[in-house]
A = this chain, B = another copy of it.
Amino acid sequence: MLRVPHGEAVDLSSCDTGSAPVGPQDKSAARSATARIGEHLADLQERLFAASTAGDRRRVLLVLQGMDTSGKGGTIKHVIGFCNPSGCRVRAFQAPTAEERAHHFLWRVEQSLPRPGELGIFDRSQYEDVLVARVRELADTGEIERRYDEINRFEKSLTDDGTTVIKCFLHISYEEQRRRLLKRLDRPDKHWKFSPSDIDDRALWPAFQEAYEIALERCSTPYAPWYVIPSDHKWYRNWAVGRLLLEHLRALGPQYPQAGFDIDRCRRRLRAR
């Protein structure tokens, strides 16, 4: 998982989508490593939540972006699935509604942020407004240009307020997307995930890759970096995102709050009542 250095140009075509640069090298090793990571995630998530009950405002926001079929949903199912649903706030961003379009583009994002102690997960995010908006020309150039800086300022204020922001680009190849779309066609229980327009959209692949490169270059900041996750192998993607999340949670080191009461006295009172 490449951490994009601040202000450096990114060449996505040179990132091997089928690689496993660190960590487990095959499916079975990755699966067991991911399950172990999951246990630690669940433990740290509970501590983070517990700490929030004593006033700790810290929280985590995981942003998942990627082309169609890159596995944003699968990552949530297989990685976030290890966590306690009570502490997770998952939000999938679709094409904006009329109400959302009437507001500033960050409005709907602000509504969906994790509260103290929570783990927030964005399936797509504020980045759609510089990705699809750029490729499909949904806003004029000046507006798009302004948005990169607005996103950076927004993420700065989030991190200043105690949010750890982790942004993952799930990177798959053009060929892998073809394989996954063909697989969806083969399986009637996957047809609902398919639309013929997904095929048309493949014509826009180079434009989207370019839009991602620009977003990663301009919005990978020291406080909210972008990570490129090689995602042709689902087992690697799950391991890598889980590992990244674990690293950040460990760095936070959330602690169970100390009892602010006399334990022995409580014991005696409870036994008597």
Residue tally, chain A, CB below 8 Å to B = 45
In the complex, are the beta carbons of B85 and A195 less than 8 A apart? no
* CB pair B178 A123 closer than 8 Å: no
Q: Which residue of B lies closest to A205 (CB)?
A: B273
Tell me, yes or no, whether A270 is within 8 Å of chain B by CB.
yes
Beyond A123-B86, A270-B199, is A258–B191 a contact (Cβ under 8 Å)?
yes
B123, B199, B271: which contacts A266 (Cβ < 8 A)? Answer: B199
Q: Give A65 Cβ to nearest chain B Cβ, in Å.
A: 15
**A21 on the interface (CB 8 Å rule)?**
no
How many copies the complex holds: the figure is 2
Give every chain B residue within 8 A of A76 (Cβ-Cβ).
84-86
A195 CB contacts on chain B under 8 angstroms: 261
**Is A1 in the interface zone, CB < 8 Å from B?**
no
| Known contacts A85-B85, A86-B92, A195-B261: A181-B270 contact under CB 8 Å | yes
**A270-B85 in contact (CB<8A):** no
Separation of A199 and B257 alpha carbons in the complex (Å): 20
- Is A223's CB within 8 Å of the partner chain B? no
* Chain A 69-105 per-residue mask, 1 if CB under 8 angstroms from chain B, else 0: 0000100110011011110101010000000000000
A19 at the interface (CB under 8 A from B): no
A22 at the B interface (CB under 8 A): no
- Residue on B nearest A47 in the bound complex, by CB: B189
Complex Cα spacing A256 to B190, Å: 8
Contact A80–B85 (Cβ < 8 Å): yes
User: A42-74: contact bitstring with B at CB < 8 Å (1 yes, 0 no)?
Assistant: 000000001101100000000000000000010
In whole angstroms, how far apart are the Cα atoms of A51 and B266 in the complex? 51
Q: Is the CB–CB distance between B80 and A50 below 8 Å?
A: no
Please give, as numbers and ranges, the residues of chain B lying within 8 Å of A181 by CB-CB distance.
Answer: 270
> Are A192 and B85 touching (Cβ within 8 A)?
no
Determine which of B85, B263, B273 lies in contact with A121 in the assembled complex, contact meaning CB atoms within 8 Å.
B85
The 5 closest A-B pairs by CB, nearest first: A191-B259, A50-B192, A80-B85, A77-B84, A192-B257
Given contacts A191-B257, A199-B273, 16 further A-B contacts (CB under 8 A): A50-B193, A76-B84, A81-B81, A85-B88, A86-B123, A178-B271, A181-B270, A182-B270, A185-B270, A188-B256, A191-B256, A191-B258, A191-B259, A191-B263, A199-B269, A203-B273
